[in-house]
Amino acid sequence: MASSMMTISSVCFVVVSFFQGLVGGVTFTFTNRCGGTVWPGVLSNSGSSALETTGFALGAGERRSLAAPAGWSGRFWARTGCAFDGESGKGACATGDCGSGEVECRGAGAAPPATLVEFTLDGSGGKDYYDVSLVDGYNLPVVVEAASAAGCPAPGCVVDLNERCPAELKAGQGQACRSACEAFGTPEYCCSGQYGNPDTCHPSVYSQVFKAACPRSYSYAYDDATSTFTCAATDYSITFCPRLANPNSQKSSNDPSPRPKDANLEDDSWLASLATGEVDGAAAAPSTSSLLQATLAVAVMALLALH
């Protein structure tokens, strides 16, 4: 009986999520193309409702979708090198850890360094505002694509910055790359104190390294002009390690630093364009509407099977 009730609850959530998308909500689809498991974290901003989960495991080659209501704002990131006890569920992550001691982050954000994906839905003019930020450092590549609206920008960082991270910024035995603010803590790097405005805080030699490698990502606090993008009336896909991975890879899910495969960027023209800041998002990911419809159909069949 308890199992049936849980199944019914799950079905109801799927149905509600589906219709929520029809009336103005957005679906975020996360895809892991890294060589091992990552653990995405989810943080809703103050005033925004919590999503279905605040953290989950995503195996190599797997994907998962989350529904968000209209007006939602918050951030996503991927944790790496996590180890959670099978019985107690307690554990921690090597990068991007949220300090909750479990898979669910429960309202806690990522400890830097971590690559962040930030969203504000239905902002000024009814547009969605989104970016990929390296202001808190970097731990793995990520790209954001509009799923059903052609012409929307595709921000992200497809370069493995851990391989070119300056020695003084390296963290976690090379598993992540700190920002200059995190590494040195001085006002000129942190855009604080007398440097707390765009007139006095300028790109540093370190933020320029990030910007040169990932021109469509935030590199420092006032990097708005070339780093914040807008779109409207669409779902979004968020891909970790967005270079094609071998689906048959047997690399351990306990790898502390899942890495993209070594395929050359030139093998995928839109990724090559993203690396140089030229992509406009025209080659958007497939729409998730068909996936939602299929999910709804399966959910209804499961519900009917209980009777």
Cα 262 to Cα 152: distance, rounded to the nearest angstrom = 27
Contact assessment for residue 287 and residue 29, using Cβ atoms and an 8 Å cutoff: no
For the chain, the structural domain boundaries read 2-305
- Token readout for 68 is 């968000």
Q: Of all helices (H) and strands (E), which one includes residue 22?
A: helix 2-22
Contacts of 294 (CB under 8 A, 6+ apart): none
> Exposed/middle/buried for 294, CB within 10 Å: 0-12, 13-18, 19+?
exposed
Q: 2-305, superfamily in CATH?
A: Thaumatin (2.60.110.10)
Q: Which amino acid is at 261?
A: K
- Number of Cα atoms under 13 Å in the Cβ half of residue 38: 34
**Which pLDDT belongs to residue 17?**
43
Q: What is residue 216's three-state secondary structure?
A: strand
* CA-closest candidate to residue 57, choices 277, 232, 258: 258
Give, rounded to a whole angstrom, the gap between the first and last alpha carbons of the chain. 12
pTM of the model: 0.75
How many Cβ atoms are within 10 Å of 44's Cβ, its own excluded?
A: 16
Sign of CA dihedral 110, 168, 194, 227: negative
Residue 258 CA to residue 240 CA, distance in Å, equals: 10
The token pair at 90 is: 């307690």
For residue 233, is it left (φ>0), alpha (ψ between -120 and 50) or beta? left
From edge to edge, which strands make up the β-sheet containing 229-231?
39-44, 73-79, 116-120, 128-133, 229-231
Closest Cα partner for 242 from 110, 107, 115? 115
pLDDT value for 158: 95
Instruction: For residue 150, give the amino acid letter.
Output: A
Mean pLDDT in consecutive groups of 10 residues from the start of the chain, 307 residues: 46 44 77 97 96 98 97 98 94 97 97 98 94 98 90 94 96 95 97 97 96 96 92 93 52 43 38 46 40 44 46
Give the per-residue pLDDT at 239: 98
Nearest Cα to Cα of residue 130 among 288, 7, 237: 237
Identify the pLDDT of residue 202: 95
* Three-class DSSP labels, 54-113: CECCECCCCEEEEEECCCCEEEEEEEECCEECCCCCCEECCECCCCCCCCCCCCCCCCCC
pLDDT at 282: 38
Pairwise CA distance, residues 4 & 17, whole Å = 20
CB atoms under 10 Å from CB of 18, counted, come to 18
